[in-house]
């Protein structure tokens, strides 16, 4: 019973108090030849953890860039069966997401992510 209570308390999400940093949004991107699958199509702006999971047979990396923006966010080349992670902050907007290795983007390893302004409580 005690373990169940600990697990339940660990699963609760508490909204941050005024002035505190919210917990990061999480996005998982699964790479295969030749596709990217996002765990969700939309996340809130602010802190975010993006995880690249390579379930393909070739190495893959990940790039994100806000449409109209200049900064390119990167997860380094990840071997088959491997994982990479990016811990950052994203502004609201639409982002291009792609694999930058060879011709992978052209072959279909691309997606669009919406980052939206969080609603105030």
Residues comprising the chain, all counted: 121
pLDDT for 35: 98
Listed by start position, the domains of the chain span 24-116
CATH C-level class of 24-116: mainly beta
- What is the C-alpha separation between 57 and 11, in angstroms, rounded? 34
pLDDT for 40: 98
As a 3-state breakdown, the chain gives helix, strand, coil percent values, each rounded to 5, of 10, 50, 45
| Residue whose structure tokens are 């990167």 | 74
Q: What's this model's pTM, rounded to 2 decimal places?
A: 0.81
pLDDT digits (tens, 9 = 90+) for 7-34: 333 333 444 555 666 799 999 999 999 9
| Alpha-carbon separation of residue 25 from 50, 79, 89, 116 (angstroms) | 8, 25, 10, 11
pLDDT for 118: 86
**Phi/psi of residue 28, each to 5°?**
-110, 135
């Amino acid at each position: 019973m005690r373990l169940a209570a600990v697990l339940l308390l660990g699963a609760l999400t508490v909204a941050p108090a005024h002035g505190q940093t919210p917990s990061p949004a999480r996005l998982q991107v699964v790479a295969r030849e030749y596709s990217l699958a996002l765990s969700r199509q939309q996340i809130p702006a602010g802190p975010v953890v993006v995880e690249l999971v390579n379930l393909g047979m070739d190495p893959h990396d990940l790039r994100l860039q806000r449409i109209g923006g200049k900064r390119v966010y990167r997860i380094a080349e990840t071997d088959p069966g491997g994982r990479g992670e990016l811990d950052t902050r994203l502004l609201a907007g639409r982002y291009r997401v792609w694999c930058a290795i060879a011709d992978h983007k052209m072959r279909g390893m691309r997606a669009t992510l919406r980052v939206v302004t969080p609603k105030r409580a």
